Amino acid sequence: MYSLWLKPSIESFRRYQSIISSLSDIHQTPKFEPHITLNSEIDELSDENFYQLSVLAALTKVFDVKSTALSIQNNYYQSLYAVIQSNPPLKALRAEFENLFPNKTDSFQPHLSLIYSNLPKVKKLKIIQNQRKSYPKLIGLEGIQVMKTVGKPENWEIVEYFPFYD
């Protein structure tokens, strides 16, 4: 099973990794790398898919997205997350993805997860109160990361990374 992630720039990565790690330590939840999922649950990727992703990344300029709010769901992998506002570069990437993988198009709700958990709603709302003013609102994105997402988050592996151009 594979997932395609948009990888934050070094500065955005460090800031969000700090938040994710801190919340993980406090609430005993899994640690994972900050990312915006372009798509998940891809059964297999061919050499042609890797080539197409490399071309897509090479034609994409580094860009920023904005987080508009923190939100929660009753979903382990979207338990507590930063809502990402869609913009033209993000929409273009998603459209290209849908062209490359026409059978793997699910609904796209851009977000950057902060916690993977089944924490009670009351705890998650308290975390939002504490994080609301301090989490970074602007996120730089610098590439597409192909992840093997089998098993627990701590066992996920980077398969390939395709940088955007600067």
The token pair at 61 is 């300029």
The pTM of this model reads: 0.94
Q: What is the 3-state secondary structure (H, E, C) of the chain?
A: CEEEEEEECHHHHHHHHHHHHHHHHHHCCCCCCCCEEEEEEECCCCHHHHHHHHHHHHCCECEEEEEEEEEECCCHHHCEEEEEECCHHHHHHHHHHHHHCCCCCCCCCCEEEEECCCCCHHHHHHHHHHHCCCCCCEEEEEEEEEEECCCCHHHCEEEEEEECEC
Domain ranges of the chain: 2-163
Give domain 2-163's CATH architecture: Alpha-Beta Complex (3.90)
Please, what's the b/e burial string for 115-126 (b: 16 or more CB within 10 A of its CB; e: otherwise)? Answer: bbbebeeeebee
pLDDT (tens digit, 9 = 90+) per residue, 52-80?
999 999 999 999 999 999 999 999 999 99
Q: Please report, for residues 17, 61, 74, 159, the alpha-carbon distance to residue 156 in angstroms, rounded to integers and kept in the order given.
A: 16, 27, 22, 9
CA angle 160, 162, 166 (to 5 degrees): 155
User: Hey, which residues does 56 pair with through a beta bridge?
Assistant: none
Residue 105's pLDDT is what?
64
Question: For the chain, which residues score pLDDT lower than 70?
Answer: 104-105
